[in-house]
Amino acid sequence: MERTLSIIKPDATRRSITGKINSMIEEAGLCIIAQKRILLSELEAEEFYGVHKERPFFRDLVKFITSGPVVVQVLEAENAISLYRKTMGATNPKEAEVGTIREAHAESIEANSVHGSDSAENAIKEINFFFEEKEIVG
Ligand code: CMP
């Protein structure tokens, strides 16, 4: 079994579609084994998205992800990382396949409703960023 970190972003919490997104996650065969609704501080957001700090969209990304509550989750399945990336669809919703979360719900490349870890190494780092082991019930 593999774990991945998911974030349901402020555009989705604002529209009260976290339940719809969770349904798509569970229907894809991913088990939600930890979940909490939090408000990220600017410092936390800068640290979490640190790999993007040289990108032109970094400041806007930090502003957006701190603009409202997010739901952070740990998802578990066989090949959870690639399965969740397939379930989310492409970063840019215009390129996302039909039936994916981003195709169904994302507003733009920035307000794209969900984040998922992109590698096994980052999944561990990102899960540890938000959760203690005792909060994860597999
Ligand atoms: P996420 O998977 O959370 O990781 C970084 C985020 O940057 C990405 O999703 C997008 O929502 C956001 N982003 C904003 N603008 C861009 C862009 N031009 N290219 C790629 N990602 C972008």
Of 47, 72, 100, 110, which is best to mutate to test ligand 1, by the most ligand atoms within 8 angstroms of its C-beta? 110
Q: In this predicted structure, what is the pLDDT of residue 47?
A: 98
What DSSP assignment string belongs to 23-58? HHHHHTT-EEEEEEEE---HHHHHHHTGGGTTSTTH
List pocket residues of ligand 1, CB cut-off 6 Å.
52, 57, 61, 91, 109-110, 112, 115
Query: 79-102: string of b/e by CB count within 10 Å (b at 16+)?
Result: ebbebbbebbbbeebeebeeebbb
Rounded distance between C-alpha atoms, residue 110 and residue 93, angstroms: 10
Active site residue 105: no
Residues 84-100 have a mean pLDDT of 98
Q: What is the pLDDT of residues 51-83, one digit of tens each?
A: 999 999 999 999 999 999 999 999 999 999 999
Q: What is the pLDDT of residues 115-128, one digit of tens each?
A: 999 999 999 999 99
**pTM summary value:** 0.98
